[in-house]
Structure 1
Amino acid sequence: MLQEDFHKPNEIIVGKLHFLFTRTAKNWYYKMRQDNGKHDWPWCQSEIITQWAGNSWRFKIKNSLESAIVNSEKDKPLTWFLIQKEILSALHPDMSESMINMIIFRKYGGELVHSIKCRCVEPCYTEDYINSMEDIITRKRIGKSWTRVPMESKMVSKNARKDKRPSRHVLKCH
């Protein structure tokens, strides 16, 4: 986040930081403000970089990226895709947008990636990828699992029917 991006003075940017941070970062920011007092945006920016852009942060972000598996039933494609894109662009700021898109789509795998590649001709914007992905998931159910009836319930129902019927053959013991 740069001051030039928003054309806002330092005071407004620093004033909005407590809205941007969540959980641990928000607690850290409040403690930093208590310890050091009020400072301008460049000072806050350097503190944020020293606190959150170290090797441990990179390791944590890489692990979250590798362990993120999309579930089409629970996750909305747009939100999941944008979160993964943010993580990748934070880890590799020099990576091209098309490369980021391909890395994210590999996490879906199989038929969905093939269908998206068939619909989107290179070069394609992220929005086009996301729109085609949502369309494919909703219309063709690619990436969604089918609900199956467990075999145990079928076996129980067959056994229940057998018990209700009278047996045709009566065995006599002599």
Structure 2
Amino acid sequence: MEFIRGIDMIKEDFELPGRLVTARFNTFFFISTHRWYIKLRQAHGHQSWTWWKIQIIKKWVNDSWRFKVETAFESAKTNSDKDKALPWFFQQKNRLTALYPEIAEFMIHRKILRKCGGYLEHSVKSQTTEESSAEYIIKILEELTTRTRISSSMVDLKTWFNTPWKDSVDKNPKENSNNIKYKSADVMRRCHI
């Protein structure tokens, strides 16, 4: 999809006729795509750019491709130690625009920010609006991850609460000689002092 969009932009910017664009396909494609192009070109002859767009979409935009892109987007999480905000953000944006070409810009930003999760998502959302540009959101993401290290210090609360604390709590208090039982009044006094 990015390939088709790129060719459409070049065609529009330089006001190129479709025949000139399709004539350059021999140099655009490599290895297996080049073989695919040669077979189609021999079978159907010279065709318009619109016809080639349809053939490219039929060949590469299928259910398995869609599944791979969706899975990659769903499994992507931010990690400020490994990922820089700019390439990570645009990789997610490219995945979403490939899956849903007619999606609104603010919906793309919202879906990507949900991938950040927790405090990082909240911090970015509180500093932006729906009209905020991708560049502004990336600037805030980079600032938050480098200056505050929010995303690297996050603990997954679901796993934290579900972790069995076997080492810290003894099952048999009689065996533990250091186990001191306080009355609830003693504990209350110590907490408020």
Which residue, 93, 116, 131 being the options, matches 2:124? 116
1:55-75 alpha-carbon deviations (Å, 9 max, x no partner): 222122111111122221111
Query: Which residue number in structure 1 is paired with residue 175 of structure 2?
Result: none
Give the secondary-structure state (helix, strand or coil) at the position aligned to 1:7: coil
Query: Which residue number in structure 2 is paired with residue 144 of structure 1?
Result: 152
Query: Which residue number in structure 2 is paired with residue 36 of structure 1?
Result: 40
Give me the whole-angstrom Cα distance separating, in 2, the residues matched to 1:64 and 1:11: 36
Q: Does 1:134 align with 2:138?
A: no
Give the secondary-structure state (helix, strand or coil) at the position aligned to 2:151: coil
Provide the TM-score with structure 2 as the length reference: 0.63
Which residue, 100, 105, 120 being the options, matches 2:113? 105
Query: Which residue number in structure 2 is paired with residue 7 of structure 1?
Result: 15
Percent identity over the alignment?
Answer: 39
Query: Which residue number in structure 1 is paired with residue 73 of structure 2?
Result: 65
Pair 1:5–1:131, CA change in 2 (3 A): same
- 120-129 vs 8-17, which moves further: 8-17
Query: Which residue number in structure 2 is paired with residue 27 of structure 1?
Result: 31
Conserved in 2, the CA contact under 8 Å of 1:112 and 1:142? yes
Give me the whole-angstrom Cα distance separating, in 2, the residues matched to 1:16 and 1:75: 35
Query: Which residue number in structure 2 is paired with residue 89 of structure 1?
Result: 97
Give me the whole-angstrom Cα distance separating, in 2, the residues matched to 1:80 and 1:104: 10
Provide the TM-score with structure 1 as the length reference: 0.70
Give me the whole-angstrom Cα distance separating, in 2, the residues matched to 1:142 and 1:6: 45
Conserved in 2, the CA contact under 8 Å of 1:18 and 1:29? no
The amino acid of 1:107's aligned partner reads K
- 36-45 vs 70-79, which moves further: 36-45
Q: Does 1:48 align with 2:52?
A: no
Query: Which residue number in structure 2 is paired with residue 78 of structure 1?
Result: 86
Pair 1:6–1:62, CA change in 2 (3 A): farther
Pair 1:63–1:135, CA change in 2 (3 A): same
Conserved in 1, the CA contact under 8 Å of 2:26 and 2:34? no
Conserved in 2, the CA contact under 8 Å of 1:13 and 1:41? yes
The amino acid of 1:110's aligned partner reads G
The CA RMSD over aligned residues, in Å, is: 2.4
Query: Which residue number in structure 2 is paired with residue 125 of structure 1?
Result: 133
Pair 1:34–1:102, CA change in 2 (3 A): same
Q: Which runs of 5+ in 2 are unaligned?
A: 155-193
- Aligned residue pairs total 141
Give the secondary-structure state (helix, strand or coil) at the position aligned to 2:152: coil
